[in-house]
Amino acid sequence: MSDACKESVTRQVVTEADAGQRIDNYLFSHLKGVPKSHVYRILRSGEVRVNSKRVDAAYRLVTGDILRLPPVRVAQKKEERRLPEFDMPILFEDDCLIAIDKPEGVAVHGGSGVSFGVIEQLRASRKDAKFLELVHRLDRDTSGVLLIAKKRSALVELHRQIREGGIEKFYFAVVAGKWQNRRQDVKLPLHKYLTESGERRVSVNPEGLPSRTVFSLMEQGDKASLLEADLKTGRTHQIRVHLAHLGFPILGDTKYGMDALNREISRAGYKRMYLHAARIKFKHPEGREIAIESRLPDTFYKLMEYMK
């Protein structure tokens, strides 16, 4: 791969979209192909300046800051990959946020063997957008409401609400077995670990992080039940592991579920994991309360009928 060398000092003005982030992270995203070690070197040497002054890597950008960037060698971009067209339903959109109705089987971002996801497709379809970042994540096989921030200020505010428990998330799941309680408050600590093959897993473990899910029975059958899960904490695989530990694994869950039953429903045409992010409630970055809903897919009701 050949290199192209910028011939002179450049100056950039920080916009609202970039305000609030560390300058090293800003440089990583704007100097594609430049090694991180080189970015830190030009920061330490003072070749990068903010408003004509030296800053360290932890400096947080402010709207209107004038950045001086030295000439750097940037690797030429490879031919741009062709991503699938973005055709996912949009449940809500304004100047701050987009809420996507994510289908099951689609990753929210690239990585771990997936070359692209929702966020890469959205960015490719909106090349003029200055800022698009995931507010939270959904497992690849989970469908439903996914929030994406269009401003850094919106992302920071929603992350604050997540940390402080200000965002309410409700899911629906079809589980194996006859669930008994109308409402069950589950408090089981969860611990993340890697298997010998390097696969990420989660288990109930006294040394794990506190985790709480409140389950409500929506429909009951002899072999399967439809539950609503009110997610009080947001641990990795929380709903899936809590239910599996209680003996009611989510149908179609290949990681924590029942293999024989999953094979049976797959042969009958039910080939997904039956977990759906149905509703999210939070305070909009501009101050008003907001709730966004995704309709439960018909296949959840059809699976309940099949299990009867």
Residue 29 has pLDDT above 70, yes or no: yes
- The model's pLDDT over 191-250, given as tens digits with 9 standing for 90+, comes to 999 888 778 899 999 999 999 999 999 999 889 999 999 999 999 999 999 999 999 999
Looking at the chain, the whole-number percentage of residues with pLDDT higher than 90 is 69
Residue 292 has pLDDT above 70, yes or no: yes
pLDDT, position 1: 39
- The model's pLDDT over 136-171, given as tens digits with 9 standing for 90+, comes to 999 999 999 999 999 999 999 999 999 999 999 999
Q: What is the mean pLDDT of residues 271-279?
A: 97
pLDDT, position 6: 40
Residue 78 has pLDDT above 60, yes or no: no
pLDDT, position 87: 81
Sort residue 128 into left (φ over 0), alpha (ψ -120 to 50) or beta. alpha
Q: What are phi and psi of 4, to 5 degrees?
A: -115, 135
Per domain, the residue ranges of the chain are 3-75, 90-307
Q: What is the mean pLDDT of residues 4-25?
A: 76
- Is 141 a residue of the active site? no
Cα 41 from Cα 168, distance rounded (Å): 43
Most confidently predicted of 7-11, 64-68, 272-276: 272-276
Cα 131 from Cα 108, distance rounded (Å): 16
- Identify which has the larger pLDDT, 51 or 21: 51
pTM: 0.76
User: For the structural domain made of 3-75, what CATH number should be given?
Assistant: 3.10.290.10
**With bands split at pLDDT 50, 70 and 90, how would you rate the model's confidence at 84?**
low
pLDDT, position 154: 95
Q: What is the mean pLDDT of residues 17-39?
A: 83
Q: What is the mean pLDDT of residues 68-77?
A: 72
- Chain mean pLDDT for the chain: 90
pLDDT, position 30: 80
Residue 110 has pLDDT above 80, yes or no: no
Say if 3-75 and 90-307 have the same CATH topology: no
pLDDT, position 3: 42
Which class in CATH covers the domain with range 90-307?
alpha beta
Of the candidates 139, 222, 230, 298, the residue annotated as catalytic is 139
